[in-house]
Amino acid sequence: MTDASKRYQLRTAVAQDIPHILGLMREMAEFEKLTDIFKATEASLHNSFFGAQPAAHCLVGHTEDEPGLPVAYIMWFHNYSSFLDKRGLYLEDVYIQPAHRGNGLGKMVLKHLARLAIELDCGRFEWTVLDWNQNAIDFYKHHGAEILPEWRIVRVTGDAMRQLAE
Amino acid sequence: MTDASKRYQLRTAVAQDIPHILGLMREMAEFEKLTDIFKATEASLHNSFFGAQPAAHCLVGHTEDEPGLPVAYIMWFHNYSSFLDKRGLYLEDVYIQPAHRGNGLGKMVLKHLARLAIELDCGRFEWTVLDWNQNAIDFYKHHGAEILPEWRIVRVTGDAMRQLAE
């Protein structure tokens, strides 16, 4: 492969990437039909990634010939397993623009994060998938992941959270 | 209710609680049939709760008349929602000894953590449940939680994580 527009690199996000990241996040929210809960702004992202107590780590993927134009973003944070008594690496989001799929960037992201998890002495590398997204499930299984069939996420938010707190 | 052995309090765990917490964790691992992955030790827990970069926060529940003898433990950490662009409060573990169930301690834990989530400006309070644990699911729903039916946890660990990283 000699076309630099199809060769990719990953790097830590910097402040100048934030408008691009926000645009990619909006594309993903539209795909997932979650625009109703979308609240991120440039200022809030800046605080989450570069504030005094960062809430998440952000990487971007770009083509070799346009390093300033992210075509993918990745966010992760540390979770924790009590029984292993170790941190884990939790992948919150990975989004690759449709025009850049099928060229190995997704695999590059998974391998990069697995290496990072090992470097950071994490016991696990985890994320979630929608149970109807069979393409994604097949891709993850092909790369050594297991899908936990029995666990369900439980969530309290908004008014229900305020009522519970009363 | 006037019996102090059935009235409970929650407090932040201290170093002296660790042997009790480890004992409660082992009880829970046996209940969940997860003793094969159980790696926690007193030293590792001390580092996770009280080290330079704590991996998790730990609370204990005790009866009013025996404050030094935890009958329940709770561990939580911050997760993060990219679309809300806010931290969340993620409940990793809650375990209550069988003899102390049905007396309101579980409800006290959920209310305490919902209050903490609001104080810490978290967008969500989340945890997981096994899909066959109907008693727990009913209890959580009764307190305002929703069970997300479609999301599955994806995990890479051990040899598979090392292979992916290569």
* B131-163 residue pLDDT tens: 999 999 999 999 999 999 999 999 999 999 999
Least-confidence region, from A1-5, A26-30, A75-79, A129-133: A1-5
A148 at interface of B, judged by CB pairs closer than 8 A: yes
Active site residue A140: yes
What is chain A's mean pLDDT, rounded?
96
pLDDT band at residue B32, thresholds of 50, 70 and 90? confident
CA distance B133 to B122: 27
For residue A14, give both structure tokens. 């910097």
Confidence check: pLDDT of A74 > 90: yes
Q: Which burial class, exposed, middle or buried, applies to A105 when counting CB atoms under 10 A from its CB (0-12, 13-18, 19+)?
A: buried
Confidence check: pLDDT of A59 > 80: yes
ipTM: 0.94
Residue in B closest to A35 by C-alpha = B83
The CATH number of residue A108's host domain is 3.40.630.30
Task: Tell me which of B83, B129, B159 to substitute to probe the interface with A (most A C-beta atoms closer than 10 Å).
Answer: B83
- Confidence at residue A6, expressed as pLDDT on a 0 to 100 scale: 82
Q: Residue A60 in contact with residue B92, Cβ under 8 Å?
A: no
- Is B163's CB within 8 Å of A145's CB? no
Instruction: State pLDDT tens for residues A148-159.
Output: 999 999 999 999
The one catalytic residue among A73, A80, A90, A140:
A140
A133 at interface of B, judged by CB pairs closer than 8 A: no
pTM metric for this prediction: 0.95
What's the number of domains chain B is made of? Answer: 1
- Confidence at residue A2, expressed as pLDDT on a 0 to 100 scale: 56
A95 at interface of B, judged by CB pairs closer than 8 A: no
B144 at interface of A, judged by CB pairs closer than 8 A: yes
**Full domain range(s) for residue A52:** 4-165
- Is A75's CB within 8 Å of B79's CB? no
Task: Tell me which of A157, A159, A162, A166 to substitute to probe the interface with B (most B C-beta atoms closer than 10 Å).
Answer: A157
CB atoms within 10 A of CB B57: 18
B127 at interface of A, judged by CB pairs closer than 8 A: yes
Beta bridge partners of A75: A58, A93
Query: Amino acid identity of A45?
Result: L
Confidence check: pLDDT of A1 > 70: no
- What are the chain B neighbours of A74 within 8 Å (beta carbons)? none
Region A121-140: what's the mean pLDDT?
A: 96
- Is B157's CB within 8 Å of A128's CB? no
- What are the chain A neighbours of B131 within 8 Å (beta carbons)? 150-152
Task: Tell me which of B82, B109, B122 to substitute to probe the interface with A (most A C-beta atoms closer than 10 Å).
Answer: B82
